[in-house]
Amino acid sequence: MEMDNLYIDKSSVIPAYYQLMKLLEHRIRRGDFKPGETLPSETEIAETYGISRMTVRRAISELSSKKIVSPQKGKGTYVSLPKFNETVFELNDFFEDMKKKGIKPSSRLIEAKHLPADKIIAEKLQIPENTKYIFFRSILYADEEPLVYDTKYIVYAKQRPLLEELSNPSLQDVVMAHNNKIPIKSLRILQVTTLTEQESFLLNVAPMSAAFLVEQLLYDQNDKPVGWGKSLYRGDRYQLTSRGGIWY
Amino acid sequence: MEMDNLYIDKSSVIPAYYQLMKLLEHRIRRGDFKPGETLPSETEIAETYGISRMTVRRAISELSSKKIVSPQKGKGTYVSLPKFNETVFELNDFFEDMKKKGIKPSSRLIEAKHLPADKIIAEKLQIPENTKYIFFRSILYADEEPLVYDTKYIVYAKQRPLLEELSNPSLQDVVMAHNNKIPIKSLRILQVTTLTEQESFLLNVAPMSAAFLVEQLLYDQNDKPVGWGKSLYRGDRYQLTSRGGIWY
DNA sequence: TAGTGGTCTAGACCACCTC
DNA sequence: AGGTGGTCTAGACCACTAA
């Protein structure tokens, strides 16, 4: 396979805790320490590799946050049986995401206007019914292909009646541009749905196609909602991936 | 509002780093430190609250991992403008998830048999075509209601030809039960799809309903696939949520 | 040059677990 | 009682940043 460096090079520019973390990862993968067993004690590891216990703890804490290892007070640091049923999916900013994949993102604003809140909007935004709110609809493109249909409902701030277009129209940015308040809390819900006739037309797919529905609610310091958003991601072009365990 | 404890109680059983973390979170929320500004330097914070710099660093490191703050070498620790466009969704074990919600999970095995690998399976599992593999199909229930349709494709280990039923049939468990190897790497893909006639019948929903499709590939120490799974989650009953920013 | 965060050390005390 | 991980300290040196 590969050459193993089963020691810590203190003269290296790579931090000792990082070297030790990789070393322990490697030894776990190799089977020196099996799931259910414990690592040597922190003191022992420190002596073995000639580093201080705090540095050992730093390495173990990284492994612990990756769920590779689980320290137990008074007992030892156990090698975890990896739990691949517990998965974390990241949904990143559309523009950043596309750029990272080498795809050119863009957006087109379909509509932007004031509206009086109906019952549903009033409840979501916790404002009185018929209060004005700002409504946005836009399409996000990846290499000229429509990928996301985006709607936003934003609490109306009298001070700022403007409706300028933004290059990266995330809900957070639009809320900050049209409202003095900086959102401090976010609740997001990921669902699946089938597209309506109108939605599928805008996204250039067949009606009743499957899509991700990402709902987002933003709150200010006082736990008041300041914006609500619903984004429909084309199911045939979008997916989330997640890696667990020990990868290189 | 509430009483503020803007000091560290060293006699408390709550660790100092934790108290400081909450304290800084509170002061950020309150506006003492605004996004884009820096916190006082680590040395200064240590002096202010009468604790050591390493303890301050521990608190800041927690805030940093929550993306509330972002330390910059040589410059200072900046309060982040929260990025609510970068979201993390957790997909946990079905059984644990349901129990946590107070719902009784159960499962029913529909089918379990050996089959020779066709081209698709052979490619996924990186085995020669027509090699035997183990096939599973089951339904997962929440309070007697079908919620997930689950299929598994597992590399066949000659030593263990048994096909016993497991109470919690996660791909990982089944792989470990039918194969000596412990998976060490997992790749998961979350997609949306519409259900076929058969799938919708099994899940007791209308055909063409939207559903989550969760695909999972498990690998052993040598980066060989050991199992492949596909789970269909009913879209009308399942959703993922994610909280960002400062919550209580 | 002065200040910042990043790393590391060699101790210390504690609560917890096991024998 | 002895070993474990959890916390904390008071220093130290470094690389980086900005004036």
For the stretch A104-148, pLDDT in tens is 999 999 988 889 999 999 999 999 999 999 999 999 999 999 999
C5: residue with closest CA to C1':
B73
Using a CB-CB distance cutoff of 8 angstroms, which residues of chain A are in contact with residue B240?
Answer: 89, 189-190
Give the rounded percent of residues in chain A with a pLDDT score beyond 90.
75
Question: Burial of A225 by CB count in 10 Å (0-12 exposed, 13-18 middle, 19+ buried)?
Answer: buried
* pLDDT tens by residue, A174-217: 888 887 778 989 999 999 999 999 999 999 999 999 999 999 99
CA distance A88 to B186: 12
Question: Å from B49 to nearest chain A CA?
Answer: 23
Mean pLDDT over A146-170 rounds to 78
Using a CB-CB distance cutoff of 8 angstroms, which residues of chain A are in contact with residue B79?
Answer: none
Residue of B86, B189, B218 lying closest to A84 (CB–CB): B218
pLDDT score at B190: 98
Question: Å from A103 to nearest chain B CA?
Answer: 18
Mean pLDDT over A91-113 rounds to 92
pTM: 0.86
Task: Specify the DSSP element, H or E, that contains A189.
Answer: strand A185-194
Largest CA distance in chain B: 71
C6: residue with closest CA to C1':
B73
pLDDT score at A207: 94
Q: Which amino acid is at A11?
A: S
pLDDT score at A177: 82
CA distance A146 to B216: 28
Residue A8 in this model has a pLDDT that exceeds 70: yes
Using a CB-CB distance cutoff of 8 angstroms, which residues of chain A are in contact with residue B86?
Answer: 90-93
A49 CB-to-strand C distance under 7 Å: no
Tally of CB atoms within 10 A around A125? 21
Ranges under pLDDT 50 in chain B: 1-3
D10: residue with closest CA to C1':
B52
* pLDDT tens by residue, A26-58: 999 888 999 999 999 999 999 999 999 999 999
pLDDT score at A225: 95
pLDDT score at B177: 82
Residue A3 in this model has a pLDDT that exceeds 70: no
pLDDT-derived band at A169 (thresholds 50, 70, 90) equals confident
B83 touches A at CB < 8 Å? yes
